[in-house]
A and B are shown apart, each in its own frame.
Chain A
């Protein structure tokens, strides 16, 4: 499948590695378009054992990246799941070989709209082909194959990461034992699509977006920041916002000048502007579309005779109104219909959709995940 650009040498280090493939013949995407070469940024933690049977693939959420755990070096973002991955943690790197790959279409080292097109020598922009959740999974499989791993011990992820975990089983049913979708869904509801569309429209309404050709000039930071602000509202809950901000005013409020008067406004503006520094607006468009088109709700992805040898741990959060627990229940019910081994737990938490990323809420999730991953007798 193409030349190996960088080898996976030492599995103990958390520097980002890059794997490039499909250089000559390209890679055929679900849309029919051919893309190549494709580079995937990835990180690994722990050691792959001799029979290559202890690998766990962590799938990141919408704005995530390959840097799951450990200190950030170079231009890495802070690790997004540090409390979950490491020695003695739920994804115990003394036992497991943990892999995380930035998705195709992303902007954290993997090929996406901000990458240089070999044809034009310029960034793809919106000439980048539409990608799907399936494309993300199929490209990750190329890397997993390259690492010589035939069967994963687990695939795990929250939100879009959970959708990717489900898609992995749908594509490669015999290649994984433990599947852990957290705060995920079989398909986006109209409400979820609607919020994504507000984000996309905010980006495209920014004059700096310029039909997606803004690279090398000012980026559509106002639009992208607004998109992220909307996102942040949907990731929290009414309770968690009440606790965090209530109606407290900012210290430097100027009063009736439509500046940020309330703490919640200041917080959202801050989150919006800091997001702009680390995320590409076109990637926002591409990945949200991929999530919106994802749909495994017809249950055809589960073979008639079930999934022997695969077991599911489905986790939902009571206060998550963006990916409500009923979506996780629907997932489990599909599995039950096909007699697939599934455990479902709805965790009490007031933090909303973001719960899976919040360290103070780690204990319950970690306990479930750690014990579920343990080999069964």
Chain B
């Protein structure tokens, strides 16, 4: 189930990133997405990752990766060094969300943000009927062990972009099967936005 979602969001991101683009993936994990972008789109791809084992996995794939958390990983990249900066499933773990996005938009022309939709139906049911913090396929963690520090919905992110004056260039809403076209804030498990300044 989870891998299906992952594959879907990877496919969407692969479709967004044009061939030969320069890409920085913040919170790149074991580098699967970067490898896909390098192989399928010929992207010049590099990552920032905090986990030691994940860095080893990236190096094994021949990727360049900088060992850091995403909250402090960017100050020395020059302005507009990348065509795309990716924050896929990592923004909700950031401590300084505003700074991370603002830095991402400084070093990259466009920022791709992918996050689990906290207002998904499954989550709402568990919250309203069960009276419990949501656990869903895209939010699979118990409240006491979740790496997620931020819980946001699609509406929340749109409103954030409006407040900050960021332009939403495109948005993709996903459930486990594919794209969601109706009432995404209710039915989408994952959202992917492409934003710019």
Binding site for B on A (CB under 8 A): 311, 313, 332-334, 336-337, 339, 341-348, 364, 367-368, 371-372, 374, 376-377
Contacts and interface: CB of A to CB of B under 8 A. Distances in A.
A345 B64 contact: no
B15 interface: no
A311 B64 contact: yes
Interface stretch (B51-59, B112-120, B134-142, B158-166): B51-59
A344 B59 contact: no
A332 B56 contact: no
B36 to A, nearest CB: 14
Given A339-B81, A345-B55, A345-B67, A333 B62 contact: no
Which one of A334, A345, A348 has the highest number of Cβ atoms from chain B below 10 Å of its Cβ?
A345
B60 interface: yes
Nearest to B55: A345
Given A333-B76, A367-B56, A344 B62 contact: no
A209 B95 CA distance: 57
B150 to A, nearest CB: 26
What 6 A-B pairs have minimum CB-CB distances, sorted nearest first? A333-B76, A336-B76, A371-B60, A343-B64, A376-B62, A371-B59
A344 B67 contact: yes
B78 A339 contact: yes
29 contacts: A313-B59, A332-B66, A333-B75, A333-B76, A336-B76, A336-B77, A336-B78, A337-B76, A339-B81, A341-B46, A341-B64, A342-B66, A343-B55, A343-B58, A343-B59, A344-B66, A345-B52, A345-B55, A345-B56, A345-B65, A348-B52, A364-B52, A364-B56, A367-B56, A367-B60, A368-B56, A371-B62, A376-B62, A377-B62
A299 to B, nearest CB: 10
Contact of B59 (A332, A333, A339, A368): A368
B52 A342 contact: no
B67 A342 contact: no
A323 B167 CA distance: 44
Contacts of B46: 341
A374 B61 CA distance: 10
Contacts of A332: 66
Interface residues of B, number: 19
A371 B61 CA distance: 8
A336 B65 CA distance: 11
Interface of B is mostly: mixed
Nearest to A368: B59
B62 A374 contact: yes
Interface in B43-90: 46, 52, 55-56, 58-60, 62-68, 75-78, 81
Nearest to A335: B76
B81 A345 contact: no
Given A337-B76, A341-B46, A343-B64, 13 more contacts: A336-B76, A336-B77, A337-B77, A339-B81, A342-B64, A343-B55, A343-B58, A345-B56, A346-B67, A367-B56, A368-B56, A371-B59, A376-B62
Contacts of A346: 52, 67
A332 B68 CA distance: 11
Which one of B46, B55, B75, B77 has the highest number of Cβ atoms from chain A below 10 Å of its Cβ?
B55
Nearest to B61: A371
B139 to A, nearest CB: 30
Contact of B66 (A336, A348, A364): A336
B3 to A, nearest CB: 24
B59 A372 contact: yes
Contacts of A345: 52, 55-56, 59, 65, 67
Contacts of B68: 344
Which one of A336, A341, A348, A364 has the highest number of Cβ atoms from chain B below 10 Å of its Cβ?
A336
A339 B65 CA distance: 13
A212 to B, nearest CB: 44
Nearest to B38: A377
A137 to B, nearest CB: 25
Contacts of B81: 339
A374 B56 CA distance: 14
A336 B77 CA distance: 6
A33 B170 CA distance: 65
A170 B141 CA distance: 49
Nearest to B107: A336
